[in-house]
């Protein structure tokens, strides 16, 4: 089992910065999409695709703000790794589809400037995220003199057995769709139940890939206490995506196989997050109850054997010193002698 590593300050700062930018940008893309405008960094045939990207950005932001509460790398890596995938992936997609950017297509001035800022900021954040990730993995295991980080950490609240197969299905579904949209946007993009172009397909593929990695990472952690930030992000992302899909329901072919699959994946994502919250809350209540009962029971040192009843009796009646016993008089046998 791997040794504990403390969370580096760089990851905390990165998460706060990305959270603020993601919340503002995601809100812009989502709100404009809800009103029927495609205000993404690249030209899109419909307002649905940039709205979904914005919904995912806005949904993950609150969880990024809470990442500073963690002290160990193991508690946040199920969210940090997908975050790095999103930053690096969206930057690469923007460069590969540079001809579709609003600035290159001669879009409105605001959208043209927004697209240029999108590429510049994403480049800086992606570079910073990769640097922080490398620094985190090069960070030595163990704390600074506390000794708490040198011992292996065992699962505190393991995932129940019944939850693992559904998590594997949901994670593999998102991962497969994301990989297909990224690698073969022409083929997989045509399978989506609404109209997309190459940039839309690959941008959505980045987020689908990151969601799949996050769900499978939570499955690999097998400890609810290590995926608290991810549990905060997953249901909010699912709800934000559902809101955008509900507003643009006429643009989606729900009767097709891809439409039904999309509905199943979004539902599975929300169910995974909601059930994880419920299981974690139950585990926290059990831990709190055990902590309240523990002080009333004397603790037995590790490796020691509980005392037997005879030993307990002897401890309760301490031996009286010989000097304290009064001297007995001569016995009758002594008088006869």
Q: Running along the chain, 337 residues long, what does each successive block of 10 average in pLDDT?
A: 78 96 97 95 96 97 93 93 97 96 94 97 97 93 50 75 93 97 96 96 97 95 91 95 96 94 96 91 80 60 50 46 46 42
For the chain, the farthest-separated pair of C-alpha atoms sits apart, in whole angstroms, at: 132
How many residues are listed for the chain in this entry?
A: 337
Q: How far is CA 41 from CA 17, 89, 109, 179, 281, in A?
A: 20, 14, 12, 22, 40
- What local confidence, expressed as pLDDT, does residue 295 receive? 60
Nearest to 273, CA basis, from 178, 200, 189, 167: 167
Partnered with residue 152 across adjacent β-strands are: 3
Question: Can you give the pTM of this predicted structure?
Answer: 0.82
Question: How is residue 319 written in tokens?
Answer: 């031996």
Query: φ, ψ for residue 184 (rounded to 5)?
Result: -130, 70
What's the CA gap between 238 and 128, in Å, rounded?
27
Indicate the DSSP class of residue 101.
Answer: B
Contact 65, 233 (CB under 8 A): no
CA distance 175 to 4: 28
Are the CB atoms for 256 and 191 separated by under 8 Å? no
Half-sphere exposure of 227 (CA within 13 A, CB side): 31
Residues 6+ apart with CB under 8 A from 193: 252, 253, 254, 256, 258, 259, 262
CA angle (174, 39, 55) in 5-degree steps: 35
The span from the CA of 63 to the CA of 287, in Å, is: 23
pLDDT of residue 178: 97
- Residue 135 tokens read as 């620094």
The token pair at 6 is 């403390």
């Amino acid at each position: 089992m791997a040794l504990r590593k403390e969370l580096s300050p760089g990851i905390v700062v990165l998460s706060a910065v990305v959270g603020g930018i993601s919340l503002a940008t995601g809100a812009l893309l989502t709100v404009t999409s809800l009103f029927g405008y495609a205000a993404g960094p690249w030209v899109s045939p419909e307002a649905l695709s940039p709205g979904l990207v914005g919904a995912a950005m806005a949904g993950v932001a609150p969880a990024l703000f809470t990442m500073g509460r963690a002290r160990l790398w193991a508690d946040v890596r199920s969210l940090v790794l997908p975050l790095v995938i999103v930053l690096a992936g969206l930057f690469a997609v923007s460069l590969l589809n540079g001809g579709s950017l609003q600035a290159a297509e001669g879009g409105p001035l605001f959208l043209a400037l927004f697209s240029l800022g999108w590429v510049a900021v994403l480049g800086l954040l992606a570079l910073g995220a990769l640097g922080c990730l490398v620094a985190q993995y090069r960070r030595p295991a163990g704390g600074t003199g506390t000794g708490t980080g040198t011992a292996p950490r065992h699962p505190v609240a393991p995932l129940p057995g019944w939850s693992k197969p559904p998590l594997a299905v949901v994670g593999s579904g998102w991962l497969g769709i994301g990989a297909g949209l990224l690698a073969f946007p022409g083929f997989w993009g045509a399978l989506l139940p609404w109209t997309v172009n190459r940039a839309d397909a690959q941008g959505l593929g980045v987020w689908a890939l990151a969601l799949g990695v996050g769900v499978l990472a939570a499955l690999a952690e097998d400890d609810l206490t290590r995926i608290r930030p991810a549990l905060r992000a997953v249901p909010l992302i699912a709800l934000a995506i559902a809101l955008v899909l509900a507003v643009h329901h006429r643009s989606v072919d729900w009767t097709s196989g891809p439409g039904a699959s999309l509905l199943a994946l979004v539902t599975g994502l929300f169910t995974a997050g909601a059930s994880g919250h419920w299981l974690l809350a139950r585990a926290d209540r059990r831990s709190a109850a055990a902590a309240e009962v523990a002080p009333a029971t004397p603790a037995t040192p590790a490796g020691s054997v509980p005392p037997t009843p005879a030993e307990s009796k002897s401890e309760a009646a301490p031996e009286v010193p010989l000097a304290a016993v009064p001297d007995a008089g001569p016995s009758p046998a002594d008088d006869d002698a």
